[in-house]
Every structure is written in structure tokens, then in C-alpha cells.
């Protein structure tokens, strides 16, 4: 049985971490397969990618047994391979949604934070307990988490290893939406349907502009926004969007 699986429904590609007996903990081979899966999904023409775990949990992070067996050099390589997932997600032109059920801890929480947004169930628990193992976070969490929930809350989570439940996670901005466990698939499908009605090039460039704006001063962000909207204005999608609005009909954007 493949431990990283990809399925397609309309414009949605779903990548499933499929090792439920181990709470979807990641091995080195699974990390490589997940990177490959993201590349495969990108090349499929999909408009949105959902990342989820099989069974009742999202991902318990790296397999501790695997980590403990590595020598220092191989451990560094393992960490760098996990970091490649974060870079791949952030570089993708389409949004990536983390569909979080149950535990998303350690590397699993890092995967969720790397995604563009997070839909979670009411039974989810998210956190970074690395310090309780005598190690630290990786995968860009020190860059991404403070931007999501603020420096103070990020510091508390990372330095204590405390897990947060769904209600608190939504309140502090760690997850975008909380639904009952049996409604998670429907919530992902609803979000994918909303994205399917948007201009794919506009979404891709808007995602890039968000990334630039987050690390830039205001004048730089304004300049990039100007270049972005000027580029989009000259596209067939923009022409279609304006025409559809004036004709009071749904737009038919190019796939």
C-alpha cells in the first residue's frame, strides 16, 4: 500500500499521508514521496491541493524511531529533506489546504503551517512538542508561525511544546475554520469549488504577491502589486472576467 496517495476530483488534488497505524508519522521515503506528490499534482492542471492524513489523524510528524536511528550527518539530511516540502508548498502557484483531523504535531504541525490555510475538525490538536524531546522545530516554523498568530503566542507554543485544541487554534488564527469531523471532506470540497470559480493566473500571482508583501516594506509591496495587476490586466482571463461581469454571467476562465 502506498504511504503517499494522490487522488483527483474535478479541480481538486488530494494528497493523503497513508500510515494511520503510526498516526501518519513520516519516514525518509515518505518525505521524498510527498515532495514527488506535490510536483505531480502541480503538473496535473489542478486548481487546488488538499493535504490530509488517513484515518483519524493528520500527521504525528517524523517517525521518532527513524530519527533516533540516524547519525548526525544523516539526521541533517533528513531535516533538509523535510524542509524541501515547505519550500515546495510555498512555491506552488495554486493554494494548498491542510485538512487537519486529530493530531497535527511536530513535523505534522509544520506541514500544516506551511500550507496556505488550514481547515480543521473540532477534535484536532496542534502543536510543536519538539522541545520536550530535546530538539527544536524546523521547516520554517520560526518564520511562518509568528506571522500567523503573533510572536508572543508563537513563542509560548514553541518554547513550552503545548498543544492547542481546535477552538483555541481558530481563535488565535492558527486554523481558518473548524468543522465537525464528518464535515471535513465537504468543507475542503466547498473551498475547492470556490477556488474553481476564480482566475487561476490571478490566484497564482496573488499568492506570490502575498509572499512578497509579507517580507517587504510598503513601497516594495506597492510596486509588486502594480506589476502584478498590470500583468494580469493584459491576460485573456482578465478580459473574460470583465466581460462576464458586464454581461452578468459566470466567467469562463482558462484552465
52-69 pLDDT, tens digit per residue, is 999 999 999 999 999 899
| CA torsion through residues 153, 85, 3, 65, sign | negative
pLDDT confidence of 166, banded at 50, 70, 90? very high
Kindly list the structural domains of the chain, giving each domain's residue range(s) and its CATH number in brackets, ordered by start: 4-196 (3.90.226.10), 200-247 (1.10.12)
Active-site hit among 110, 168, 190, 225: 110
Mean pLDDT of 179-186: 97
For the question of residue 130 being annotated catalytic, the response is yes
Helix axes 236-247, 218-233, angle to 10 degrees: 80
pLDDT at 44: 86
Which of 10-14, 42-46, 182-186 shows the lowest per-residue confidence on average (mean pLDDT)? 42-46
Q: Is residue 67 among the annotated active site residues?
A: no
Stretch 213-241: mean pLDDT:
95
Query: Which residue of the set 29, 56, 84, 130 is catalytic?
Result: 130
- Indicate if the pLDDT at residue 21 is higher than 80: yes
pLDDT score of 221 more than 70: yes
State yes or no: pLDDT of 93 exceeds 80.
Answer: yes
Phi and psi (nearest 5°) for 178? -120, 130
pTM of the model: 0.93
pLDDT of 116 higher than 70: yes
Amino acid at each position: 500500500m502506498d504511504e503517499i496517495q494522490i487522488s483527483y476530483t474535478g479541480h481538486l488534488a488530494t494528497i493523503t499521508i497513508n500510515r494511520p497505524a503510526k498516526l501518519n508519522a513520516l519516514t525518509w521515503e515518505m518525505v521524498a514521496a510527498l515532495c514527488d506528490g506535490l510536483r505531480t499534482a502541480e503538473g496535473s492542471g489542478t486548481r487546488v491541493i488538499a493535504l490530509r492524513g488517513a484515518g483519524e489523524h493528520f500527521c504525528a510528524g517524523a517517525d521518532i524511531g527513524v530519527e533516533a536511528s540516524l547519525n548526525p550527518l544523516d539526521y541533517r539530511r533528513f531535516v533538509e529533506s523535510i524542509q524541501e516540502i515547505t519550500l515546495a508548498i510555498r512555491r506552488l502557484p495554486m493554494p494548498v489546504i491542510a485538512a487537519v483531523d486529530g493530531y497535527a504535531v511536530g513535523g505534522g504541525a509544520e506541514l500544516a503551517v506551511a500550507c496556505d490555510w488550514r481547515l480543521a475538525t473540532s477534535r484536532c490538536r496542534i502543536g510543536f512538542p519538539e522541545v520536550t524531546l530535546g530538539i527544536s522545530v524546523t521547516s520554517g516554523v520560526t518564520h511562518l508561525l509568528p506571522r500567523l498568530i503573533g510572536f508572543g503566542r508563537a513563542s509560548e507554543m514553541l518554547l513550552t511544546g503545548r498543544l492547542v485544541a481546535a477552538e483555541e487554534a481558530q481563535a488565535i488564527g492558527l486554523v481558518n475554520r473548524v468543522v465537525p469531523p464528518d464535515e471535513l471532506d465537504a468543507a475542503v470540497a466547498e473551498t475547492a469549488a470556490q477556488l474553481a470559480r476564480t482566475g487561476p493566473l490571478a490566484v497564482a500571482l496573488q499568492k506570490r504577491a502575498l509572499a512578497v508583501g509579507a517580507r517587504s516594506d510598503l513601497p516594495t509591496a506597492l510596486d509588486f502589486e502594480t506589476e502584478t495587476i498590470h500583468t494580469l490586466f493584459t491576460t485573456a482571463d482578465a478580459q473574460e472576467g470583465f466581460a462576464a461581469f458586464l454581461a452578468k454571467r459566470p466567467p469562463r476562465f482558462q484552465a
